[in-house]
Amino acid sequence: MRRKPSNSRKIRFSPTQKDIADALGVSQSTVAMALSAQHERKLMAETVERIRKYAAEVGYHPQRFAQIMQGGHTRIIGVIVRLGIYASNHKMVAMLANELTRAGYRLVVVDPEWFGSDAELVRRYLLDQGVEGVVFCNVTLIEEVEAIRAMLPDCMPYYSLQSSVTCGPNLRADLEGAYYHMTRLHLALGSQHLGLLTMYRDVGNIRRPAWTVLDRVRGFARAILEAGGAVVADDKARELLEIPGCGSLPKRLPKGIVGVIHYPEKAPEVHHAFGNGFHQTLRMIDAAALPDSLICANDDGALGAIAACADRNVEVSQDVRISGHDDTVAGQFGMVPLTTVRPPLEELVRKTAEGLLDQIRNPEKAREDSLTQLPCKIVVSSSCGTREELQQLAGSNFFRSGGGHEFEWKLDDNGIHRFDPYQKIEDHGRKPKIKPNP
């Protein structure tokens, strides 16, 4: 028997199948069948058309939680990431969204900081969203990532992308190899006193160094020792980092090649990588301890170091060579374009998405512990040397590649690309907006 349409019930912003049934005077089961590709054939074509047309007009969208209760798949992936630290994190999440969207999945992004770094709250939120798998995206705090992973259901598929997960499938950039070759580049440019500036240790919050710190240190130390130099660090850094062949930091550095590892304790005025690079470099300059080369853990730290040099009238590439990591836009278009490490983000993200979806589609397949490391690209620019110095090295076969880590030289017919704020800009026949410096 046909039901009488109800006009007394107001359609909500997000209408349900019952709202549509009440409005059209049909049963809720009829609406469900009309909106289901699997069951629509059980109804008359005009009934299906009328229900679907009305559903589109009122903005009906299937409720995900109702689908879950009916045994359906959410096709949602949870991504755990610290969004506020680096621009590369945002870039990786966007890449993951593109890869997974093409496969018919959507993302739910979770920053542990939103939940006060409470692993239980993060777990509840992910499970409430009905995620079918999880990606740990550049979560490097060991205690944090392991606490969250341990609370996930054993059957939950997960993948570690640039993170500190100690078991299961793990994809990372080969930072040890990248920093080994970056250090060799600085040595080839003639640096004798080299400094590696890592991220700070946050006493009380970070008890163990992240893999990113350890791998950079190992690559740096290996290059210095192979060159016949000495590697030194303060006693606390030596204890935490367990650096092979590393000696205590003396009051006066020995002659010859010396690599100093800086793993500073977090200072009150430091809240991010840029501040770390700025304040640590200021201390080096003021103590007359600025190295010939300063190899930073990221572009933000390197840009902070460049800002400190500008504050103290120190010439970058002439008085000190500086390099970073991440190949950020800010690093590319600064007053002194950065020499940097470019991680293979596209390939890392693609392999992560493929691996996670394979786990989801093949739940009977055993999850294996694995670590896959992909080579990086060393991008050489004007923060590391003069045009003549870099052109000479660019012609060397040795620096064209190394262990899969390719070198990209920012050179053209006119030398190194450098932004000149005083250059004349032609504006299609109109008066130049920027005039040459008189």
| Position 299, amino acid | D
C-beta contacts of 314-321 below 8 A and 24+ residues apart: 314/285, 314/290, 316/383, 317/382, 317/383, 317/384, 317/385, 317/386, 318/386, 319/290, 320/290, 320/291, 320/292, 320/293, 320/294, 321/186, 321/189, 321/191, 321/292, 321/293, 321/294, 321/383, 321/384, 321/385
| Position 432, amino acid | P
Quick one: pLDDT at residue 438?
42
* Residue stretches of the chain with pLDDT short of 70: 1-14, 37-40, 63-72, 85, 202-206, 397-403, 412-438
CB 101 within 8 A of CB 52: no
Question: Would you give the end-to-end CA distance of the chain in angstroms?
Answer: 90
Residue 113: other Cβ atoms inside 10 A? 12
Q: Which two tokens stand for residue 94?
A: 């966007």
> What pLDDT digit, counting tens, does each position of 234-262 carry?
888 888 888 888 888 887 888 899 999 99
Quick one: pLDDT at residue 201?
73
Length of the chain: 438
Quick one: pLDDT at residue 415?
43
> What pLDDT digit, counting tens, does each position of 276-319 carry?
889 899 999 999 999 999 999 999 999 999 999 999 999 999 99
Residue 369: other Cβ atoms inside 10 A? 10
Residue 185: other Cβ atoms inside 10 A? 24
Residue 244 phi, psi dihedral angles, 5° rounding: -60, 130
Quick one: pLDDT at residue 343?
95
- Regarding beta strands 293-296 and 193-197, do their DSSP bridges make them parallel or antiparallel, or are they unpaired? parallel
Backbone φ/ψ region at 178: left (φ over 0), alpha (ψ -120 to 50), beta: alpha
